Amino acid sequence: MSVVSELATEKPKLLSARGTAIMLGAISFVAGIGLWWLAVLAGLSALPNPPEVLRRFIELVANGQLFGDMAASLQRVLIGFALGSLAAVPVGFLMGWYRIARNLIDPWIQFFRVVPPLAIIPLAIVTLGIDEKPKIFVIFLAAFLSSVVATYQGVISVDKTYINAARVLGASDRVIFSHVVIPASTPFILVGFRIGLGAAWATVVAAELIAAQSGLGFRMQQAQLYYDLPTIFVSLISIGILGLIMDRIVVWADERLTGWQERV
């Protein structure tokens, strides 16, 4: 079979697998909503039912609150996550490639890893104020710690056979690093990005609960004071949707950048 024929055969399979995944995801979503509704109707839960949440969603969209809160939280997450990830990748490569750098930096990374970013929020507020700086800083820290460990693990997990083969062929350390280590570490880096995104969203919501005048976390805190469960649900669902979209973007980048990797 020619290469063209093989590619023509693989493409429908890929489209079919993707269509199946979308269909199963939709079925799972509808089933989850149905179970939620049945639990409320049966009196097994004090949660609001889906129509109540939908009505509150329409109200918050109509008065502009929801989009304003989503924009505020999304901006904080994007800035903190981008800064944390950009800083983590070179530090992770440095730790993985040079043993001296690993011995110098790793103790600090492990120290801050066991200190939850949420525990640093009070310190960040006291030292940086109550504006955007402390919120972005704790998001930066959460994303950085997740990504730097993943990048470091990717570098030290590169198959030594590839590196030795490149050396035998006369490749310099610079060529080995750029053509062997970086491509082989990319899947680990992107996994770190996905974990960092989750940590960033968890951190921004906690930060907004403490000191904010806008954002989805702030809106949930205000709704809690009035026992406004539909608003809390709308905020939670909005966070989940935004996080899911960002995660799918990283997955799409992973598929494009690591097309050489075998997948199940």
**pLDDT tens, residue by residue, 45-72:** 678 888 888 999 999 999 988 999 999 9
Longest dimension (CA), the chain: 72
Structure tokens at 99: 């043993």
Looking at residue 261, its pLDDT comes to: 62
| Torsion 118-82-246-264 (CA) sign | negative
Residues 61, 26: one domain? no
262 domain residue, yes or no: no
Tell whether 113 and 182 lie within a shared domain: yes
- Indicate whether 207 belongs to any domain: yes
Identify whether 19 is part of a domain: yes
- Same domain assignment for residues 129 and 250: yes
Residue 247 and residue 197 in contact, taking contact as beta carbons nearer than 8 Å: yes
Q: What is the token pair recorded at 69?
A: 């809160």
Which candidate, 191, 223, 253, 240, places its Cα nearest to that of 32?
240
Both 125 and 147 in a single domain? yes
Name which of 187, 194, 87, 201 is nearest 135 in CA terms: 201
Q: How far apart are CA 76 and CA 89, in angstroms?
A: 20
199 within some domain: yes
- Tell me what the pLDDT averaged over the chain comes to: 83
pLDDT in the model for residue 259: 66
Residues 13 and 93 in one domain: no
CB-count burial class (<10 Å; 0-12, 13-18, 19+) for 139: buried
Please count the CA atoms within 13 angstroms of the CA of 241 that sit on its side-chain side.
10
Indicate the pTM of the whole model. Answer: 0.81
Domain identity same for 90 and 30 = no
Domain assignment present for residue 192? The answer is yes
> What number of other Cβ atoms are within 10 A of residue 227's Cβ?
8
- Domain boundaries, position 251: 48-257
Closest of 148, 145, 73 to residue 65, by C-alpha: 73
CATH number (domain holding residue 229):
1.10.3720.10
**Sign of torsion over alpha carbons 252, 256, 258, 259:** positive
Distance of CA 125 to the CA centre of its chain: 24
Report the distance separating Cα 120 and Cα 205, nearest Å. Answer: 14
Both 27 and 151 in one domain: the answer is: no
List the one residue out of 199, 207, 213 whose CA is nearest residue 119: 207
pLDDT at 42: 78
The values of phi and psi at residue 136, to 5°, are: -65, -35
| CB-CB contact of 109 with 149 (8 Å) | yes
Which residues of the chain, if any, have pLDDT below 50? 1-8
Q: What is the pLDDT of residue 175?
A: 84
Same domain, 12 and 124: no
pLDDT 10s digits, 145-191: 989 999 998 888 888 888 888 888 887 878 888 888 888 888 889 99
Based on the structure, what is the number of domains in the chain?
Answer: 2
User: 37 with 15, same domain?
Assistant: yes
At residue 15, the pLDDT reads 56
Which tokens in the block code for residue 7? 């590619």
187 and 110 in a common domain: yes
